[in-house]
Amino acid sequence: MGYLICSKCRVYYQMESGESKKDFTSNCDCGSKLRYVENLDIVDPSWKQSTFRKKPTIKEVLRNKVQSISYGIKDNIISPLIEFWHNLRNKFQNTKNRNYQNWNNHYNSPYGMQNGLINSILSEFNFNNIQWIIIIPVVMVITLILANTHGILTLLIFLLLAAVGFLTKDPVIGAKNAIITGAISFFLGSLLSGSFLLLIPLTILGTINGAVCGFIGGYIQTRYN
């Protein structure tokens, strides 16, 4: 056993059996460095006995790390994703209600009903905001990768799809652009590679990849820009 002392606070702590100076922090709460002594010969009798903070155990460090990561995932990923989903759902719901109202206003005439239905479909897909200037070059690159490469370079596909979503100010439009990019590029890539039996599954896979990566890219764009 020994003693830990703080000259600034004029206090000391008598370590118990099994304790070591390595179990404690190197500094006192006042900021002064703690000293280890074998006895109290150099200590003034007026000094008072006190306690010092111990270092956290490995178990406590791991627990704090896990809690920190959990809170970070919840605050930076899960909560924004839930908020993004609610905003996306509300936007589609508002668009659907507006399209239904426009369709209902023209319902009394066959011409009006036809125009209302067409406008409803066009508003739902809204091809006017598709950024083909971004989609076409990315489709060409992904198609070439799928047709000629089967190695680690295929990971570029996910980065390119995420970039499509990131390069759009509106995350919904960015996700839509990435979906179209993934579907077209995977369709053309399967054709050029001769995978005719996998044409439909690969196209669906491209659509899913585009939706996921475009969503991530759009989220990053709205989160950090």
Q: What is the mean pLDDT of residues 78-86?
A: 70
Of 55, 71, 100, the residue at which a domain comes to its end is 55
| 1 compared with 118, residue with greater pLDDT | 1
Residues 161 and 210 in one domain: yes
120 plus 164 within the same structural domain: no
Q: Select the more confidently predicted residue: 56 or 161.
A: 161
How many separate domains does the chain show?
Answer: 3
Indicate if the pLDDT at residue 45 is higher than 60. Answer: yes
Confidence of residue 57 (pLDDT cuts 50, 70, 90): confident
Q: Quick one: average pLDDT of 84-91?
A: 69
Whole-angstrom distance, CA of residue 163 vs CA of residue 142: 12
Do residues 21 and 77 both lie within one domain?
Answer: no
Q: Residue 113 belongs to what domain range?
A: 58-125
**Cβ 28 vs Cβ 9: under 8 Å:** yes
Are residues 220 and 145 part of one domain? yes
Q: At CA 177, angle to CA 173 and CA 179, rounded to 5?
A: 115
| Residues 120 and 132 both lie in one domain | no
Winning range, highest mean pLDDT, from 37-46, 94-103, 178-187 = 178-187
| Low-confidence winner among 3-7, 10-14, 62-66, 110-114 (lowest mean pLDDT) | 110-114
Q: Per the structure block, which two tokens stand in for 51?
A: 């306690």
Chain segment 174-193, per-residue pLDDT in tens: 788 888 888 888 888 888 87
Q: Are residues 86 and 17 in the same domain?
A: no
pLDDT for 105: 53
What the block records as the tokens of 220 is 């990053």
32 touches 6 (CB < 8 A):
yes
Write down the pLDDT at residue 117: 45
Domain identity same for 51 and 70: no
What is the sign, positive or negative, of the torsion defined by CA atoms of 78, 216, 199, 121? positive
Q: In 3-state terms, what secondary structure has residue 42?
A: coil
Tell which of 82, 102, 125 closes a domain. Answer: 125
Same domain assignment for residues 135 and 210: yes
* 46 shares its domain with 115: no
Highest mean pLDDT: which range of 6-20, 24-38, 177-191: 177-191
For the stretch 115-161, pLDDT in tens is 544 554 454 455 666 777 888 888 888 888 888 866 677 788 888 88
Across 160-177, average pLDDT = 80
Q: Where are the beta strands (DSSP E) in the chain?
A: 3-6, 11-14, 35-37, 48-49
Proportion of the chain in helix, strand, coil states, percent, rounded to 5? 65, 10, 25
Report the pLDDT averaged over residues 38-58.
Answer: 77
pLDDT value at 25 more than 60:
yes
* C-alpha–C-alpha distance, residues 21 and 172, integer Å: 58
195 has pLDDT over 80: no
- 26 and 63 both lie in a single domain: no
Same domain? For 132 and 197 the reply is yes
Q: Are residues 153 and 117 in the same domain?
A: no
Domain closes at, from 76, 108, 125? 125
Q: Where are the beta strands (DSSP E) in 48-192?
A: 48-49
Q: Read off the pTM.
A: 0.43
